[in-house]
Amino acid sequence: MLANYLIGLREGLEASLVVSILVAYLVKTGRRHLLPRIWLGVAIAVLVSLAFGFALFYGPRGLTFKAQEAIGGILSIVAVVFVTWMIFWMARAARSISGELRGQIDDAADGNWFALALVAMLAVGREGLETALFIWSTTEAATRDTDASWQPLVGAALGIATAVVLGYLIYRGAISINLSTFFAWTGGFLIIVAAGVLSYGVHDLQEAGILPGLNNLAWDVSDTIDPTSWYATILKGVFNFSPATTWLEAVVWVLYVVPTMTIFILTLRRRAAPAAPAQQSTPVSH
Protein backbone atom coordinates (compact mmCIF):
# COMPACT_ATOMS: atom_id res chain seq x y z
CA MET A 1 0.00 0.00 0.00
CA LEU A 2 2.85 2.41 0.84
CA ALA A 3 4.48 2.04 -2.58
CA ASN A 4 1.21 2.69 -4.40
CA TYR A 5 0.44 5.62 -2.10
CA LEU A 6 3.76 7.17 -3.10
CA ILE A 7 3.11 6.48 -6.79
CA GLY A 8 -0.33 8.07 -6.55
CA LEU A 9 1.08 11.02 -4.59
CA ARG A 10 3.95 11.70 -6.96
CA GLU A 11 2.07 11.23 -10.22
CA GLY A 12 -1.02 12.96 -8.86
CA LEU A 13 1.04 15.93 -7.70
CA GLU A 14 2.65 16.23 -11.13
CA ALA A 15 -0.81 16.31 -12.74
CA SER A 16 -2.14 18.71 -10.09
CA LEU A 17 0.78 21.07 -10.65
CA VAL A 18 0.18 21.01 -14.39
CA VAL A 19 -3.50 21.90 -13.92
CA SER A 20 -2.59 24.58 -11.36
CA ILE A 21 -0.14 26.18 -13.78
CA LEU A 22 -2.64 26.13 -16.63
CA VAL A 23 -5.46 27.61 -14.52
CA ALA A 24 -3.27 30.18 -12.76
CA TYR A 25 -1.81 31.46 -16.04
CA LEU A 26 -5.23 31.86 -17.66
CA VAL A 27 -6.56 33.68 -14.59
CA LYS A 28 -3.49 35.92 -14.37
CA THR A 29 -3.73 36.89 -18.06
CA GLY A 30 -7.45 37.67 -17.88
CA ARG A 31 -8.64 34.67 -19.90
CA ARG A 32 -11.01 33.02 -17.42
CA HIS A 33 -13.46 32.33 -20.24
CA LEU A 34 -11.02 29.69 -21.52
CA LEU A 35 -11.01 27.70 -18.24
CA PRO A 36 -13.85 25.32 -19.32
CA ARG A 37 -11.56 24.09 -22.10
CA ILE A 38 -8.91 23.18 -19.53
CA TRP A 39 -11.43 21.28 -17.42
CA LEU A 40 -12.74 19.49 -20.52
CA GLY A 41 -9.24 18.27 -21.32
CA VAL A 42 -8.69 17.17 -17.71
CA ALA A 43 -12.00 15.27 -17.66
CA ILE A 44 -11.18 13.44 -20.91
CA ALA A 45 -7.72 12.53 -19.57
CA VAL A 46 -9.19 11.14 -16.33
CA LEU A 47 -11.80 9.07 -18.19
CA VAL A 48 -9.23 7.65 -20.60
CA SER A 49 -6.89 6.77 -17.70
CA LEU A 50 -9.70 5.03 -15.79
CA ALA A 51 -10.72 3.08 -18.90
CA PHE A 52 -7.09 2.05 -19.48
CA GLY A 53 -6.75 0.93 -15.86
CA PHE A 54 -10.02 -1.03 -16.07
CA ALA A 55 -8.80 -2.78 -19.22
CA LEU A 56 -5.50 -3.68 -17.54
CA PHE A 57 -7.16 -5.17 -14.44
CA TYR A 58 -9.96 -7.10 -16.16
CA GLY A 59 -8.86 -7.58 -19.78
CA PRO A 60 -6.49 -10.59 -19.46
CA ARG A 61 -8.69 -12.64 -17.09
CA GLY A 62 -10.24 -14.74 -19.83
CA LEU A 63 -6.87 -15.86 -21.21
CA THR A 64 -4.86 -18.97 -20.40
CA PHE A 65 -2.41 -18.89 -17.49
CA LYS A 66 0.65 -18.66 -19.72
CA ALA A 67 -0.92 -15.91 -21.82
CA GLN A 68 -1.76 -13.93 -18.67
CA GLU A 69 1.79 -14.35 -17.39
CA ALA A 70 3.28 -13.31 -20.73
CA ILE A 71 1.10 -10.18 -20.96
CA GLY A 72 1.76 -9.37 -17.31
CA GLY A 73 5.51 -9.70 -17.74
CA ILE A 74 5.64 -7.56 -20.87
CA LEU A 75 3.43 -4.84 -19.38
CA SER A 76 5.50 -4.81 -16.19
CA ILE A 77 8.64 -4.18 -18.21
CA VAL A 78 6.85 -1.45 -20.21
CA ALA A 79 5.73 0.12 -16.93
CA VAL A 80 9.33 0.20 -15.67
CA VAL A 81 10.46 1.88 -18.90
CA PHE A 82 7.78 4.56 -18.58
CA VAL A 83 8.32 5.24 -14.88
CA THR A 84 12.10 5.42 -15.35
CA TRP A 85 11.63 7.95 -18.14
CA MET A 86 9.19 9.90 -15.93
CA ILE A 87 11.65 10.00 -13.02
CA PHE A 88 14.47 11.42 -15.13
CA TRP A 89 12.17 13.76 -17.07
CA MET A 90 10.85 15.34 -13.89
CA ALA A 91 14.37 15.62 -12.45
CA ARG A 92 15.31 17.68 -15.51
CA ALA A 93 12.06 19.60 -16.06
CA ALA A 94 10.99 20.55 -12.52
CA ARG A 95 12.44 24.05 -12.89
CA SER A 96 11.23 24.75 -16.43
CA ILE A 97 7.82 23.07 -16.62
CA SER A 98 5.95 26.29 -15.78
CA GLY A 99 7.46 28.28 -18.66
CA GLU A 100 6.95 25.43 -21.14
CA LEU A 101 3.26 25.08 -20.26
CA ARG A 102 2.66 28.84 -20.50
CA GLY A 103 4.14 28.86 -23.98
CA GLN A 104 1.85 25.98 -24.98
CA ILE A 105 -1.16 27.85 -23.58
CA ASP A 106 -0.38 30.97 -25.59
CA ASP A 107 -0.04 28.94 -28.77
CA ALA A 108 -3.21 26.92 -28.11
CA ALA A 109 -5.31 29.96 -27.14
CA ASP A 110 -4.71 31.40 -30.60
CA GLY A 111 -5.80 28.18 -32.31
CA ASN A 112 -9.16 26.41 -32.54
CA TRP A 113 -11.34 25.90 -29.48
CA PHE A 114 -10.19 22.32 -28.86
CA ALA A 115 -6.45 23.13 -28.91
CA LEU A 116 -6.39 24.27 -25.28
CA ALA A 117 -8.37 21.22 -24.15
CA LEU A 118 -5.84 19.09 -26.04
CA VAL A 119 -2.92 20.68 -24.15
CA ALA A 120 -4.56 19.86 -20.80
CA MET A 121 -5.61 16.39 -21.96
CA LEU A 122 -2.12 15.41 -23.13
CA ALA A 123 -0.37 16.90 -20.08
CA VAL A 124 -2.66 15.21 -17.55
CA GLY A 125 -3.33 12.10 -19.64
CA ARG A 126 0.36 11.22 -19.82
CA GLU A 127 0.53 11.16 -16.03
CA GLY A 128 -2.74 9.23 -15.80
CA LEU A 129 -1.73 6.48 -18.22
CA GLU A 130 1.68 6.09 -16.57
CA THR A 131 -0.02 5.92 -13.16
CA ALA A 132 -2.56 3.30 -14.29
CA LEU A 133 0.13 1.10 -15.84
CA PHE A 134 2.55 1.30 -12.93
CA ILE A 135 -0.13 0.86 -10.26
CA TRP A 136 -1.41 -2.19 -12.12
CA SER A 137 2.11 -3.64 -12.22
CA THR A 138 2.81 -3.03 -8.53
CA THR A 139 -0.63 -4.35 -7.57
CA GLU A 140 -0.09 -7.54 -9.55
CA ALA A 141 3.32 -7.97 -7.94
CA ALA A 142 2.09 -7.29 -4.40
CA THR A 143 -0.95 -9.59 -4.64
CA ARG A 144 0.63 -12.58 -6.38
CA ASP A 145 -0.06 -14.79 -3.37
CA THR A 146 -3.08 -13.02 -1.89
CA ASP A 147 -6.53 -11.80 -2.89
CA ALA A 148 -6.16 -8.44 -1.10
CA SER A 149 -5.84 -6.46 -4.34
CA TRP A 150 -7.94 -3.68 -2.81
CA GLN A 151 -5.14 -2.60 -0.46
CA PRO A 152 -2.74 -1.30 -3.15
CA LEU A 153 -5.65 0.37 -4.94
CA VAL A 154 -6.71 2.12 -1.73
CA GLY A 155 -3.13 3.26 -1.22
CA ALA A 156 -3.00 4.69 -4.76
CA ALA A 157 -6.37 6.42 -4.33
CA LEU A 158 -5.25 8.00 -1.05
CA GLY A 159 -2.03 9.18 -2.71
CA ILE A 160 -3.93 10.78 -5.59
CA ALA A 161 -6.39 12.42 -3.18
CA THR A 162 -3.50 13.82 -1.13
CA ALA A 163 -1.90 15.15 -4.32
CA VAL A 164 -5.10 16.91 -5.37
CA VAL A 165 -5.35 18.62 -1.99
CA LEU A 166 -1.69 19.65 -2.10
CA GLY A 167 -2.11 20.94 -5.64
CA TYR A 168 -5.05 23.10 -4.60
CA LEU A 169 -3.20 24.44 -1.55
CA ILE A 170 -0.18 25.28 -3.70
CA TYR A 171 -2.43 27.08 -6.18
CA ARG A 172 -4.03 29.09 -3.38
CA GLY A 173 -0.61 29.93 -1.96
CA ALA A 174 -1.40 28.21 1.35
CA ILE A 175 1.71 25.99 1.29
CA SER A 176 5.10 25.93 -0.42
CA ILE A 177 6.93 22.78 -1.47
CA ASN A 178 10.51 22.45 -2.63
CA LEU A 179 9.68 20.45 -5.75
CA SER A 180 13.28 19.58 -6.56
CA THR A 181 13.73 17.93 -3.15
CA PHE A 182 10.34 16.19 -3.32
CA PHE A 183 10.95 14.69 -6.75
CA ALA A 184 14.52 13.75 -5.85
CA TRP A 185 13.53 11.66 -2.80
CA THR A 186 10.45 10.11 -4.39
CA GLY A 187 12.40 9.42 -7.58
CA GLY A 188 15.04 7.47 -5.67
CA PHE A 189 12.40 5.45 -3.85
CA LEU A 190 10.50 4.71 -7.07
CA ILE A 191 13.68 3.36 -8.67
CA ILE A 192 13.71 0.68 -5.95
CA VAL A 193 9.99 0.02 -6.51
CA ALA A 194 10.53 -0.16 -10.28
CA ALA A 195 13.32 -2.68 -9.78
CA GLY A 196 10.87 -4.90 -7.91
CA VAL A 197 8.31 -4.55 -10.70
CA LEU A 198 10.98 -5.44 -13.27
CA SER A 199 11.95 -8.50 -11.25
CA TYR A 200 8.28 -9.46 -11.03
CA GLY A 201 7.92 -9.04 -14.80
CA VAL A 202 10.89 -11.33 -15.39
CA HIS A 203 9.32 -13.94 -13.10
CA ASP A 204 6.06 -13.73 -15.08
CA LEU A 205 7.97 -14.33 -18.31
CA GLN A 206 9.66 -17.31 -16.65
CA GLU A 207 6.23 -18.62 -15.63
CA ALA A 208 5.09 -18.22 -19.24
CA GLY A 209 8.09 -20.21 -20.47
CA ILE A 210 9.49 -17.26 -22.44
CA LEU A 211 12.54 -16.88 -20.19
CA PRO A 212 14.49 -19.81 -18.64
CA GLY A 213 15.58 -20.46 -15.07
CA LEU A 214 12.25 -20.69 -13.22
CA ASN A 215 13.55 -23.43 -10.91
CA ASN A 216 17.08 -22.03 -10.62
CA LEU A 217 16.76 -20.18 -7.31
CA ALA A 218 19.27 -17.66 -5.99
CA TRP A 219 17.74 -18.06 -2.54
CA ASP A 220 14.70 -19.51 -0.83
CA VAL A 221 14.09 -18.21 2.69
CA SER A 222 10.44 -19.30 2.85
CA ASP A 223 11.24 -21.34 5.98
CA THR A 224 12.68 -18.23 7.67
CA ILE A 225 10.35 -15.52 6.38
CA ASP A 226 6.70 -16.49 6.51
CA PRO A 227 5.09 -15.09 3.31
CA THR A 228 1.86 -14.49 5.28
CA SER A 229 3.53 -12.46 8.06
CA TRP A 230 3.10 -8.69 8.37
CA TYR A 231 6.77 -7.93 7.69
CA ALA A 232 6.77 -10.16 4.60
CA THR A 233 3.68 -8.29 3.39
CA ILE A 234 5.47 -4.95 3.83
CA LEU A 235 8.59 -6.21 2.04
CA LYS A 236 6.44 -7.59 -0.77
CA GLY A 237 4.23 -4.53 -1.10
CA VAL A 238 7.00 -1.92 -0.98
CA PHE A 239 10.04 -3.65 -2.48
CA ASN A 240 8.41 -6.70 -4.16
CA PHE A 241 10.72 -8.91 -2.13
CA SER A 242 10.03 -12.58 -2.73
CA PRO A 243 11.25 -15.27 -0.27
CA ALA A 244 11.95 -17.50 -3.30
CA THR A 245 13.85 -15.56 -5.98
CA THR A 246 15.41 -16.93 -9.14
CA TRP A 247 18.92 -16.02 -10.23
CA LEU A 248 17.60 -14.18 -13.28
CA GLU A 249 15.27 -12.05 -11.12
CA ALA A 250 18.11 -11.17 -8.76
CA VAL A 251 20.55 -10.32 -11.56
CA VAL A 252 18.00 -8.15 -13.39
CA TRP A 253 17.20 -6.31 -10.13
CA VAL A 254 20.87 -5.45 -9.57
CA LEU A 255 21.52 -4.57 -13.21
CA TYR A 256 18.63 -2.11 -13.10
CA VAL A 257 19.15 -0.51 -9.67
CA VAL A 258 22.91 0.07 -9.73
CA PRO A 259 23.27 2.00 -13.03
CA THR A 260 19.86 3.70 -12.81
CA MET A 261 20.38 4.96 -9.25
CA THR A 262 23.94 6.05 -10.08
CA ILE A 263 22.85 8.05 -13.13
CA PHE A 264 19.91 9.53 -11.20
CA ILE A 265 22.15 10.74 -8.35
CA LEU A 266 24.69 12.18 -10.80
CA THR A 267 21.87 13.93 -12.67
CA LEU A 268 20.57 15.50 -9.46
CA ARG A 269 24.03 16.68 -8.46
CA ARG A 270 24.67 18.18 -11.89
CA ARG A 271 21.31 19.98 -11.83
CA ALA A 272 21.71 21.19 -8.24
CA ALA A 273 25.15 22.75 -8.70
CA PRO A 274 24.15 25.85 -10.74
CA ALA A 275 20.88 26.23 -8.85
CA ALA A 276 22.41 26.32 -5.35
CA PRO A 277 22.05 30.11 -4.81
CA ALA A 278 18.30 30.06 -5.47
CA GLN A 279 16.15 27.26 -4.03
CA GLN A 280 12.89 26.56 -5.87
CA SER A 281 9.63 26.05 -4.00
CA THR A 282 6.81 25.91 -6.53
CA PRO A 283 6.27 26.99 -10.13
CA VAL A 284 2.68 28.12 -9.58
CA SER A 285 1.90 31.82 -9.50
CA HIS A 286 -1.31 33.68 -10.01
pLDDT digits (tens, 9 = 90+) for 56-81: 877 776 678 888 889 889 988 998 99
Tens of pLDDT, residue by residue over 251-280, are 999 999 999 999 999 988 887 665 445 444
Q: What is the pLDDT of residue 186?
A: 84
Residue 147 φ then ψ, to 5°: -95, 5
In a domain, 285, yes or no: no
The C-alpha atoms of residue 196 and residue 193 are separated, in whole angstroms, by 5
In a domain, 209, yes or no: yes
In a domain, 279, yes or no: no
- Identify the H or E element spanning 104: helix 97-109
The C-alpha atoms of residue 143 and residue 155 are separated, in whole angstroms, by 13
| 131 or 277, greater pLDDT | 131
The C-alpha atoms of residue 33 and residue 26 are separated, in whole angstroms, by 9
In a domain, 239, yes or no: yes
Beta bridge partners, 217, equal 246
In a domain, 174, yes or no: yes
Tens of pLDDT, residue by residue over 26-35, are 888 888 888 8
Q: What is the pLDDT of residue 144?
A: 57
Tens of pLDDT, residue by residue over 165-182, are 988 888 887 667 777 788
Beta bridge partners, 86, equal none
Mean pLDDT, the chain, integer: 81
In a domain, 284, yes or no: no
Q: Are 88 and 183 in contact (CB under 8 A)?
A: no
- Identify the H or E element spanning 246: strand 244-246
Q: Mean per-residue pLDDT for 147-163? A: 77
Q: Of the candidates 92, 89, 267, 282, which has an alpha carbon nearest to the alpha carbon of residue 177?
A: 282
The C-alpha atoms of residue 107 and residue 241 are separated, in whole angstroms, by 48
Greatest pairwise CA separation for the chain in angstroms: 66
Q: What is the pLDDT of residue 85?
A: 87
The C-alpha atoms of residue 58 and residue 142 are separated, in whole angstroms, by 17
pLDDT above 70 covers what percent of the chain?
81
Whether the per-residue pLDDT at 196 is higher than 90: the answer is no
Radius of gyration from C-alpha coordinates of the chain: 20
| 205 or 144, greater pLDDT | 205
- In terms of residue numbers, what domain contains 145? 2-274
In a domain, 281, yes or no: no
| 196 or 147, greater pLDDT | 196
Q: Of the candidates 99, 92, 44, 52, which has an alpha carbon nearest to the alpha carbon of residue 75?
A: 52
How many structural domains compose the chain? Answer: 1
In a domain, 280, yes or no: no
